[in-house]
A and B are shown apart, each in its own frame.
Chain A
Amino acid sequence: MAEIAEGPDKGGKKTKPKKHSTKIDMTPMVDLAFLLLTFFMLTNTFNKPQTMEINMPAKPKTEEKEQPVPASKTVTLILGKDDKIYWFHGEVDKTKMEVTNFGKDGIRKILMDKNTAIRDAKGEPEMVVLIKPKDDSKYKNVVDILDEMNITDIKRYAIVEVQPIDLEQLKLQLNVE
């Protein structure tokens, strides 16, 4: 047992601590740090989803006197199949329907023109847009048209059900089912 202890035969020499450098190789640590950094950067979900806030008109509680909007101020957009928009100004059976699309020169131009025209004619800036998505339209169309309202800065619009008379006129005038 006692053999383990260093014998006195070393002659009183002190054991010198080895002169290792105090620097250590940090490369593996750096590798690890950057690996983690990359991992967290890539998994991080930076972009919170964006939303569009919409307010639907409250359902009328009773058969109430909803104030009818003068037809001369309303522009109706019927959203149809294959990204088509059928639109008319005024009452459905007294005006001609037209077809347009979601392009820049399509619905946006029409809405802007109509907006200024109605404002100039009546002296009040209150065009009302009725959006009527047909049953074969896509959700994307509805979002696009709401976006278009946002872009053209039209404040008064509503999503409403498409009426039988609208469909009738669509078939009659443009031969669209």
Chain B
Amino acid sequence: MSKVKLSKHSPSLDMTPMVDLAFLLVTFFMLTTKFRPDEQVIVDTPSSTAEIKLPETDILTLTVSRDGRVFFDLDGQGTRKALIEAIAAKHKVEFTPEEIHTFAVMTGFGMPVSSLPQWLKMDKAEQDAVEQPGIPCDTIRNELYDWVIYARQANPKVRIAIKGDRDVNYPVIKQVIGTLQAQDVNRFNLITNMEVGS
């Protein structure tokens, strides 16, 4: 009776296919990844059953935080540059070329135009530390109106999306929508997230 021979293979196995696969996936994720832009405020959007996806480009986002502050964000560096120049001319605020550049490459903001130059001078860490008061959009001083109208001039294809916190009081949203309607924007998007559960 001969014993069953244990094969004397070495226990190490060929890992090449696995490495190939791993690097393939790494490459895939590296190329498709798009880092989440840092947000000015944390907003908890309401849920809905809507299934339309927001396009990635030509988006003007109006973020409304829980305490009713309004933030403005627009994509496209060239568009942002054109926008800030138009706003500077309109509000007679001087921006240095560096400040215009900073504005073109950053993300959203929420403050009156008058305090914008000072804020743009700061470096990133200082900017984050500043508590932004939101863009004035009440009936007395509606700067949001100007931002939106010049953004639409700078990029006529732009789509407007409102990203409101679920617990913000409705009058703030009404004010924002009213601002849009005042310039005949009657079609816009409300950003929501997926319905959880039922």
Contact = CB atoms under 8 A, between A and B. Distances in A.
B192 interface: yes
A139 B174 CA distance: 9
Q: Which of B23, B170, B184 has the most CB of A within 10 A?
A: B170
Contacts of A175: none
A121 interface: no
Interface in A77-105: 79, 104
A135 B170 contact: yes
A59 to B, nearest CB: 6
A37 B182 CA distance: 49
B1 interface: no
B52 A140 contact: no
Given A26-B15, A51-B189, A133 B22 contact: no
Contact of B169 (A58, A135, A151): A135
Interface stretch (A12-20, A62-70, A142-150): A142-150
Interface residues of A, number: 44
Contact of B174 (A133, A140, A146): A133
Interface string B169-198: 111111001000110101111111110001
Nearest to B56: A48
A114 to B, nearest CB: 20
Contact of B16 (A26, A27, A58, A151): A26
A145 to B, nearest CB: 10
Interface stretch (B32-40, B93-101, B113-121, B129-137): B32-40
A28 B198 CA distance: 46
Contacts of A136: 169-170
Given A57-B186, A137-B170, A139-B164, 11 more contacts: A37-B26, A40-B29, A49-B45, A53-B189, A54-B190, A79-B170, A138-B166, A139-B64, A139-B165, A139-B173, A144-B46
Nearest to A141: B170
B50 A56 contact: no
A50 B35 CA distance: 18
Contacts of A141: 170
